[in-house]
Chain A
Amino acid sequence: MEVNRRQFFKICGAGIGASSLAALGVAPEPAYADSIRHFKLANTREARNTCPYCSVGCGVILYSRGSGGKNVSQNIFHIEGDADHPVNRGTLCPKGAGLVDFIQSPSRLQYPQVREPGSNEWKRISWDDAFKRIARLVKDDRDANFIERNDSGDTVNRWLSTGFLAASASSNEAGYMTHKVVRSLGILGFDNQARV
């Protein structure tokens, strides 16, 4: 029989309940059985992930609650080290052990916002408005300042008046797409955290 981690916890939980009741020598009533506290992770979903902090790349397991239904979003409430991972073997450091507070931080941004010139506040905007306004600013600056040829007449096709600072913890896939887009625009002021 193949037992996955979640089923294993269910079996263990039920087993402990059943054996301790038997030891008491009483016939369990249904209501009493219901009051047994089940293992917290029994009804969770697991996802394998990697700690996003330092470069050790520790394996972590994300535990989320939710019905699993298509229209229900899963809520991650617990994170622990992945015992199968060859590097961290289930351990986490003081940073990684607090990861769930990162996901649930009150500082998480919820909506696109804009701060207008001279203003002292954020204003919520839609994604579509954000994309439209940014695309317009980008295009106007690129069209005005793109350099096709240098003073010697050589083809150089670069754009120096807008720059891009790429991330340090985004995935390879996000990084690859970012590079593809940024270079197609001719940007050279392009770096990631590796520079510092």
Chain B
Amino acid sequence: MTNHWCDIKNANLVLVMGGNAAEAHPCGFKWVTEAKAHNQAKLLVVDPRFTRTASVADTYAPIRTGTDIAFIGGLIRYLLENDRIQHEYVRNYTDMPFIVKSGYAFEDGLFNGYDADERGYPDKSAWDYELGEDGYARVDMSLEHPRCVYQLMKEHYSRYTPEMVSRICGTPEKRMKEVWDTIAETSAPGQSMTILYALGWTQHSVGSQMIRAGAMLQLLLGNIGMPGGGVNALRGHSNIQGLTDLGLLSNLLPGYLTLPRDEEQSYSDYIAERAPEALRPGQMSYWQNYESFHVSLMKSWYGDAVNEDNNWGYDWLPKLDVPLYDVLKFFDMMYEGKVNGYFCQGFNPIGSFPNKAKISAALSRLNYLVVMDPLMTETSEFWKNVDEYNDVDTASIDTTVFRLPTTCFAEEDGSLVNSGRWLQWHWKGGEPPGEARPDIAIMGGLFHHLRDLYQREGGAFPDPILNLDWSYQRPDEPTPDEVAKEANGRAMKDLHDESTGEVRVRAGEQLSGFGQLRADGSTASGCWLFCGSWTEDGNQMARRDNADPYNMGQTLGWAWSWPANRRILYNRASADTHGKPWDSKDKRLVWWDGNQWTGTDVPDFAADSAPEEGMSPFIMNPEGVARFFARDNMAEGPFPEHYEPFETPIGRNPLNPDNPDVTSNPAARVFRNDMELFGNAEEFPHAATTYRLTEHFHFWTKHCRINAVLQPQQFVEIGEAMGNELGIKAGDRVRVSSNRGYIEAVAVVTKRIKPLDVDGKTVHHVGIPLHWGYVGLAKNGYVTNTLTPFVGDGNTQTPEFKSFLVNVERV
């Protein structure tokens, strides 16, 4: 979230799209209720289903799954055509005046430079700003230059007329315009709309671009950085945010630092590419501090073993030959027999990943699988035959499976990062069952044994293993406190004030913020974003002062928020160019007091940079402003464009009906054996989508008695019209099949799903909750992801769980 849960109360309007917060995040959704009750806010819900969130909305608009870019693209056109944008904001705080290179083009659904064989854009060099002789990006503040971002964007979305959007989305035009009109009202300075989204935006082959479209909408309306504004990802798990911040992803290092690619053999080039100089005069370009963060990380991991002479251990980091070894790529490799070992830590891939048959076959080709979990999972028992629910030949599966019991949240100390970026410390309340151990102890124990083997036997490239800093009090079981302090960071030498020479931080002391980090090896910090979370004043994450003196919901004394205890990102943009809040009464967040920036939140800005110095609010970008034009950062192109799901119920892209190459995302990676498994609308006519229920949490709560009682049995939802067409009544058992397999479940026939008129066809949606499996206390059920397609978003590779095709029959 750019903002956080309590801040939702400051919103004038709430748009829930690509999520169902009332069902999936009930206690966070209370803040929407709060905004409605005490801030006279309205709630808009756009969703294929009339959800629990929709049931309390002021306006609900149905939409076909996977078409959100068309809906928002049409809205962007509507705002530009009718001039309902926040003028001063977009002119000064965004790239609208920036002039784009002349090679940039868009035609027939494709941007310039497309290579069909590669399924992508190998040369994106024209997707960038034109530079002037002074080296800075050229701008036209009148916004009249034909290649300025404003004009290009206007042209791009000119095709997204209300008729076209309605044809693609199936949303009735009248309802659509009602939603658009309400949203347009928040273009008034000081009015804010928040967007709440979740997996309904991420789990599409164009998911990243859907979210970008949402961010562009918020920029047009001047809603980024505002109290009650922002683009807010309601994340699915309690510490997905933290584990992402800590970089536990194929291509990342902690704090959104990135691993080098093969061609980056030179350390200085690696740093230079990630520490860009400012693209406009007077801008901060905060990533110029990249090397301070990187060196501090390497000191944290390798201590005295890394220094300037060995480039701070640069060669000890693995390098990437492909953009990502994400889970789809890795399971495809496993399926091809190229992977021998796999670890699953608190993760149930056979339930969570698409096309269960492929996942099951892949796991069966492993030599060893290690599962660490507090609960028994389907993955740990993928080899067990459980009748129709897991019909495998156990004797032929040669994988050795280890299952290691872990503690759960209640049995250990530590911190979790919630969706609002708050690091909250928790305390152990009891002992774990049997011999269960904390994950830290398991990783410590495993590493300890491994390092012993390398010490005794030698082996392949042992340097990073033998030199890993492991100066914990108990090497086989480091304590959470020690690790949290390491992630924050400390001084390795006395740190002196650059002007006076005075000692600021003594060697060994905890650092108080990432501004203290240095690239000369004198500081260590395991995650620069978390620097400030455990200072010399103690554990800041354990703070429990819930006072809210300004009644803005910011509670700066509760827990600790990254970065720098800041609660709302980009909050400089909540004030105008003179440093005065757009609304000084209800939206006062940060302001210039004549000497410095101050406010009800920690300013996201250089504290002493006066407004007249002209520094722009988006300090992480080298241009200082927010981007409508993504430059070369997205796989599909600089502006979001609507492409159909890979399994589309209409078989063509109404924007480019005659170009089959752009029916679905032309830049999405598809593995050969998966392309053949996509189904078509002749055989599988209905649009299916998967989701969660309020009574269950993924595959966990079917192990909890009360939740297993509340929702004991697998079901699927279909609309009344579809039920009548197929002769299916509520309570009938139905078979739902895709081109990859089938599940059987009880049918719920509901008024909440209505047929949509799309591109001249009637499209029915089928709703499939995903909580069942073949272990636990609830009744056994089929793994829902038996049905889903093995294809991901073009940038993140997040699977397309939300849009695929099925057939439904009564059994």
Residues in A lying within 8 Å of B, measured CB to CB: 45-59, 62-64, 73-76, 79, 81, 84-89, 91-99, 101-103, 105-120, 122, 127, 130-139, 141-146, 148, 150, 152, 154-196
- Verify if B396 is at the interface (C-beta below 8 Å from A): yes
- Contact (Cβ within 8 A) B340 A162: yes
- Contact (Cβ within 8 A) A115 B400: yes
- Contact (Cβ within 8 A) B5 A56: yes
- Contact (Cβ within 8 A) B301 A165: no
- Contact (Cβ within 8 A) B700 A166: no
Sample of 11 A–B contacts (CB below 8 Å): A55-B234, A55-B418, A63-B429, A101-B706, A115-B400, A118-B394, A158-B319, A161-B339, A180-B468, A181-B446, A189-B250
Query: Could you say which of A107, A120, A135, A170 contacts B384, with CB atoms under 8 Å apart?
Result: A120
Query: Could you say which of B6, B424, B434, B459 contacts A111, with CB atoms under 8 Å apart?
Result: B434
Residue of A nearest to B464 (CB): A184
- Contact (Cβ within 8 A) A178 B546: no
From known contacts A155-B315, A188-B320, infer whether A52 and B402 are also in contact, taking CB-CB under 8 Å. no
**A156-B318, A157-B317 are known contacts; what are 11 more A-B pairs with Cβ within 8 Å?**
A49-B410, A74-B431, A92-B27, A114-B401, A118-B397, A138-B341, A141-B340, A169-B346, A171-B412, A173-B487, A183-B464
A99 / chain B contacts, CB cutoff of 8 Å: 410, 704
B798 / chain A contacts, CB cutoff of 8 Å: 195-196
Chain B 417-434 per-residue mask, 1 if CB under 8 angstroms from chain A, else 0: 111101110111111011
Query: Could you say which of B203, B236, B483 contacts A173, with CB atoms under 8 Å apart?
Result: B483
- Contact (Cβ within 8 A) B317 A166: no
- Contact (Cβ within 8 A) B480 A173: yes
- Contact (Cβ within 8 A) A53 B238: yes
Shortest CB distance A108–B (Å) = 5
Of the listed stretches B277-285, B366-374, B615-623, B642-650, chain A binds: B366-374
A166 / chain B contacts, CB cutoff of 8 Å: 243, 248, 345-347
What separation, in Å, do the CA atoms of A114 and B402 have in the docked complex? 4
From known contacts A172-B239, A195-B798, infer whether A156 and B346 are also in contact, taking CB-CB under 8 Å. no
B454 / chain A contacts, CB cutoff of 8 Å: 139
- Verify if B338 is at the interface (C-beta below 8 Å from A): yes
- Contact (Cβ within 8 A) A184 B403: no
- Verify if B438 is at the interface (C-beta below 8 Å from A): yes
Of the listed stretches B326-334, B572-580, B594-602, chain A binds: B326-334
Task: Indicate the size class of the contact surface on chain B.
Answer: 35 or more
From known contacts A118-B396, A192-B240, infer whether A142 and B460 are also in contact, taking CB-CB under 8 Å. yes
- Contact (Cβ within 8 A) B705 A91: no
- Contact (Cβ within 8 A) A157 B318: yes
Residue of A nearest to B368 (CB): A137
What separation, in Å, do the CA atoms of A120 and B327 have in the docked complex? 27
What separation, in Å, do the CA atoms of A87 and B555 have in the docked complex? 10
- Contact (Cβ within 8 A) A52 B484: no
What separation, in Å, do the CA atoms of A95 and B26 have in the docked complex? 10
- Contact (Cβ within 8 A) A54 B697: yes
Shortest CB distance B224–A (Å) = 20
From known contacts A49-B429, A102-B703, infer whether A168 and B404 are also in contact, taking CB-CB under 8 Å. no
Shortest CB distance B326–A (Å) = 6
Chain B 775-811 per-residue mask, 1 if CB under 8 angstroms from chain A, else 0: 1110000000000000000001111010000000000
- Contact (Cβ within 8 A) A58 B27: yes
Shortest CB distance B308–A (Å) = 18
From known contacts A57-B418, A87-B5, A156-B262, infer whether A163 and B238 are also in contact, taking CB-CB under 8 Å. no
| A to B contact number (C-beta, < 8 Å) | 484
Shortest CB distance A87–B (Å) = 5
Residue of B nearest to A162 (CB): B341
* Residues B323-372 near A (CB distance < 8 A): 325-327, 329-330, 333-334, 338-347, 349, 352-353, 367-368, 370
Residue of A nearest to B241 (CB): A55
Residue of A nearest to B428 (CB): A47
Shortest CB distance B431–A (Å) = 4
- Contact (Cβ within 8 A) B409 A169: yes
What separation, in Å, do the CA atoms of A112 and B380 have in the docked complex? 12
A91 / chain B contacts, CB cutoff of 8 Å: 27, 30
A95 / chain B contacts, CB cutoff of 8 Å: 694-697, 701, 707
- Contact (Cβ within 8 A) A110 B435: yes
- Contact (Cβ within 8 A) B352 A193: yes
- Contact (Cβ within 8 A) B429 A130: no
B116 / chain A contacts, CB cutoff of 8 Å: none
B247 / chain A contacts, CB cutoff of 8 Å: 179
- Contact (Cβ within 8 A) B429 A168: no
Shortest CB distance A193–B (Å) = 5
- Verify if B254 is at the interface (C-beta below 8 Å from A): yes
Residue of A nearest to B452 (CB): A135
Residue of B nearest to A190 (CB): B250
- Contact (Cβ within 8 A) A109 B376: yes
From known contacts A109-B436, A113-B403, A172-B246, infer whether A55 and B236 are also in contact, taking CB-CB under 8 Å. yes
List the 10 shortest-distance A-B pairs measured between CB atoms, nearest first: A57-B418, A171-B414, A110-B434, A167-B346, A62-B429, A109-B405, A47-B429, A168-B237, A162-B341, A93-B26
From known contacts A161-B340, A174-B414, infer whether A49 and B319 are also in contact, taking CB-CB under 8 Å. no
What separation, in Å, do the CA atoms of A139 and B397 have in the docked complex? 23
Shortest CB distance A67–B (Å) = 13
Query: Could you say which of A54, A85, A154, A195 contacts B263, with CB atoms under 8 Å apart?
Result: A154
From known contacts A109-B436, A173-B480, A176-B527, infer whether A137 and B367 are also in contact, taking CB-CB under 8 Å. yes
Query: Could you say which of A50, A79, A116, A165 contacts B238, with CB atoms under 8 Å apart?
Result: A50
What separation, in Å, do the CA atoms of A189 and B343 have in the docked complex? 10
Shortest CB distance A104–B (Å) = 8
- Verify if B242 is at the interface (C-beta below 8 Å from A): yes
Residue of A nearest to B458 (CB): A143
B426 / chain A contacts, CB cutoff of 8 Å: 47-50, 171
- Contact (Cβ within 8 A) B548 A177: no
Interface centre among B240, B530, B700 (most CB of A within 10 A): B240
Shortest CB distance B555–A (Å) = 5
Interface centre among A51, A105, A173 (most CB of B within 10 A): A173
From known contacts A114-B400, A179-B254, infer whether A139 and B459 are also in contact, taking CB-CB under 8 Å. yes
Query: Could you say which of B25, B317, B368, B427 contacts A47, with CB atoms under 8 Å apart?
Result: B427
Shortest CB distance A143–B (Å) = 5
- Contact (Cβ within 8 A) A183 B27: no
- Verify if B131 is at the interface (C-beta below 8 Å from A): no
Residue of A nearest to B530 (CB): A172
What separation, in Å, do the CA atoms of A99 and B411 have in the docked complex? 13
- Contact (Cβ within 8 A) A157 B237: no
Shortest CB distance A95–B (Å) = 5
Residue of A nearest to B558 (CB): A86
Residue of B nearest to A136 (CB): B453
- Contact (Cβ within 8 A) A55 B400: no
What separation, in Å, do the CA atoms of A140 and B558 have in the docked complex? 48
From known contacts A49-B429, A52-B409, A176-B254, infer whether A135 and B265 are also in contact, taking CB-CB under 8 Å. no
What separation, in Å, do the CA atoms of A114 and B665 have in the docked complex? 43
